[in-house]
Structure 1
Amino acid sequence: MRKRDSLSTYLKSTIPIKDLYEKGFFPANTLTATDAETVQLFGDGEAAFLIDGSWKVGYFNENHADQLGDYAVSYVPAKGERKASEAIGGISMGYFITKKAWDDPAKQAAAVAFVEHMTSDEVLSTFVTTEVTALKNGASPAGLNELQQSAADANANITGVVGAVQDTITSECKTDLFANMQNVVTGAITAEYAVASAIALN
């Protein structure tokens, strides 16, 4: 998510994160800030962009309702063969049919019909706003505010989805990788070393 008037400045930047840190572009508590603190900085206009999940749209709807026109959901800049329109995401909701219902011909038909109805484009579009879905044609939610519409537009133009790395690695690997972010930012170790250290624990 970004402030609407700051896109051109920050999407064109290819400055390493260590250089940005040393030049004072980050707040004083960068190395110790909690998620809540960084979100608050963005909400208060003290940060130009916020990298987070789609659920944060709901947070801004509730806590900064009078500023929704100041925000927009955008893509992370592309690099190499990765397109900007490729997103990190995953499907964490689904419908399941019990074995008991599946083994009963009458109940199986009813259960399948129910799941098909609940996962149709029309029905999903009534409660999907910023979520990534498995719909072939995507969702078409209506009655959205400016920020929600921005997120919906971004989702509609996603060309590929890859899973989050943290969901595919061990807890030890994740802890090591996250802990070493501070060391990368300060230049104590290289990003390559941090990745190699984490992989060794996976």
Structure 2
Amino acid sequence: MTQYQIAVVVGSLRKASLNRKLADAMAKMAPPEFVFKQVDIGDLPLYNQDDDANQCEAVKRLKADILASQGLLFVTPEYNRSIPGVLKNAIDHASRPYGQSAWAGKPAGVLGVSIGAIGTALAQQHLRNILANLDVPTLGQPEAFIHAIEGFFDTDGNVNAGSKKFIQTWMDSYVAWVKKHAKQSA
């Protein structure tokens, strides 16, 4: 059985982040041949092109984690109608120096959860625009703009029964997307 390593990029540094909880819950819904690893982006310095020739260890680790994966999962909150700065910083680091992007060709899924009624719709759209520029084939449908209502997560951190079918449908589509595109990039 082929194993698929998935690099999970959570766009929040907060320990109690809803998006981190969603990333954990999503990993439980995947088939056993999918292994999810949340990559650390909290220790990256601010991106500075002057550092491209001598990237620090945190950047090298991030790029190695991405390069070792067969797929990407971005789980992001929405800050001021866009992606968080920490996520953009990680994307910039792993895409540089020019021509040495770790992201290129890696199949991705994008989703997020928010207490706001539109979920993370605008952040996801901005992220999709960035990923398109970086040659990251991104799952288009189904979209998942998740509104975190009271009880969305159960006491064990799983998605509640009422939302599980929708989230499982998204996960099944994501798994098929990665399997289809990982063969081309592996």
TM-score normalised to structure 2 length: 0.30
> Which is higher, the Rg of structure 1 or of structure 2?
1
